[in-house]
Amino acid sequence: MLTVDFDRVHAGPGDKVLDLGCGAGRHAFEAYRRGAEVVAFDQDTAELDGVEEMFRAMAEAGEVPEGASARTVTGNALELPFDDATFDCVIASEILEHIPEDDKAIWELARVTRPGGTVAVTVPKWLPERVCWSLSEAYHQVEGGHVRIYRADELVGKLREAGLRPVHRHHAHALHAPYWWLKCAVGVDRENHPLVAAYHRLLVWDMMDRPLLTRAAERLLDPVIGKSVALYFVRQEVAVGPR
């Protein structure tokens, strides 16, 4: 399930792509399939072990074009181990809401993007996230959990200050918002609750079969209750450091 629209970023053959805070690797895998030179970056070594294994499996299965490459790097988003202007594209999907010093992370991701390169940032949308916080303290008070709720314009302003010019935004995953509201209402750890389990089966069916009815419903609902907002930028000049 992708949140980023890959037709809006530089992630094709020959492009250098950083998936910052890659987690399980969903966006890194898509960039690899498209022929990019991919770096999957995260502080969770266990997650990166799984990502590296999938990279190998994709290559062995012939799922990636000739010239594509992929590797994993462990590190801190506040101190990226890359030179200035290294990447044609940086993806930071559902990561900034976890970072207390988000300003530093933003300046770092801007620093490593080349002038003219593209940046895609996704975070939870304000309204669906506010509902989750209201329903459950456990949802956002776990270790490594969400430390803030962004308004899109606020986040765009922070990224502008780092030298990134906004070019597009959209919302995604409206059908997933009620799932998280249910989980928060009954207890975030109660995966086997009948309502949660039933809705999860619906989401899996939707992702696997992509029926026209649910795809149309999600497109209509995304602007209202989309779980995520996706923001796209172009790097204007090399960042010199946070103010």
Identify the pLDDT of residue 191: 85
Number of structural domains, the chain?
Answer: 1
- Do the domain assignments include residue 119? yes
C-beta separation of 119 from 89 below 8 A? yes
Asked if 35 and 24 touch (Cβ cutoff 8 Å), the reply is no
The Cα–Cα gap between 21 and 92 comes to 6
pLDDT at 141: 81
- Is 241 inside a domain boundary? no
- Residue 94 inside a domain? The answer is yes
Report yes or no on 15 lying in a domain: yes
In the DSSP assignment, the letter for residue 7 is G
Three-state secondary structure of 123-141: EECHHHHHHHHHHCCHHHH
The pLDDT of residue 243 is: 47
242 in a domain, yes or no?
no
User: Does residue 123 sit within a domain?
Assistant: yes
Residue 53 corresponds to which tokens in the numbers above? Answer: 């294994």
Domain with 98 in it: 6-235
What's residue 145's pLDDT?
84
- Whole-number Å distance between alpha carbons of 185 and 132: 8
Q: Which candidate, 131, 218, 212, places its Cα nearest to that of 174?
A: 218
Establish if 120 belongs to a structural domain.
yes
Residues 142 and 184: beta-carbon distance below 8 Å: no
Inside any domain, residue 109: yes
Mean pLDDT of successive 10-residue stretches along the chain, which has 243 residues: 95 97 97 98 96 97 96 97 98 96 97 98 97 92 87 97 97 96 93 93 93 94 96 81 51
Across the strands, what pairs with 168? 232
Quote the CA–CA distance of 201 and 183 in Å, as a whole number.
14
Domain CATH number, residue 63: 3.40.50.150
Question: CA 87 to CA 130: how far, in whole Å?
Answer: 34
User: What phi, psi does 203 have (nearest 5°)?
Assistant: -65, -40
Quote the pTM value.
Answer: 0.93
